[in-house]
Amino acid sequence: MSKASQYQARQPDENGHIEYSDAEHLVWHKLYARQIDNLPGKACTQYLDGLQQLNMTADRIPQLAEIDAVLKVTTGWRTEPVPALISFERFFDLLANKAFPVATFIRTEQDFDYLQEPDIFHEIFGHCPLLTNPAFAYFTETYGKLGVNASPQERVYLARLYWFTVEFGLLKAPDHGLSIYGGGILSSPGETNYALSDQPQVKDFDLVDVLRTPYRIDIMQPLYFSLENFEQLFEIANMDIMAAVREAMRLGLHQPLFDTNQDKAS
């Protein structure tokens, strides 16, 4: 989260407005148009409801103040413009204070299909719709508060919880099987289709199991964890998560389901 990025965040003016170029708006348009028709029947209803509330369009990159206006009245959250990559300390502190960090740049055409660091499309389109949901908002705030007080080693384990929920979580929808709530999937057409195929392994969510599971950021995930229902996020947030972290540290990590690469595995 602290490695250098080739991208520079766009700075808002004194009114909080960010001036994007026509080329940047065009990238947003292409990303939005490609994914919006891919989500029905795949994204969870809570995400689709939030997407409708945020009222984004394919025409332009939304201003953060527009997103904040909706988040404030639904869950009390807001966005916070940040550089492409921030420290764990900054990340946890923002979440603990109900502020979701949003990198204010958008990828170039050269990185259209895959970008390792999060851009504004990933943050706004992938994550912000679910911040209108009380269960997701409460889980994310609780997660931030735990991270603020965690040791560096504990934060590594907490990162896996975030990865397998907020970024790459699945949900068992009662009407049509699995659906998606993880923003890392929802902002990626390829991973959206892959996650609901018969290729990856899907396991029921178990907190200690999640904390012990390594992942790589640069591959399609070989394993996802699914919730029984969306309200389970409330239950997880109210567990003794740090006790589970200590148990996971005692037991050690599971064997990775991918080729080990120390630079890319967590």
Structure tokens at 219: 């591959």
**Residues facing 201 on adjacent strands:** 223
| CA-based nearest residue to 68, from 83, 53, 85 | 53
Torsion-angle region of residue 202: left (phi > 0), alpha (psi -120 to 50) or beta? beta
**Residues facing 101 on adjacent strands:** 80
**Residues facing 82 on adjacent strands:** 103
- Is residue 156 classed as helix, strand or coil in its secondary structure? helix
d(CA 101, CA 132): 15
Which residue ranges make up the annotated binding site for Fe cation?
A: 122, 127, 167
Catalytic (active-site) positions:
122, 127, 167, 187
d(CA 163, CA 3): 18
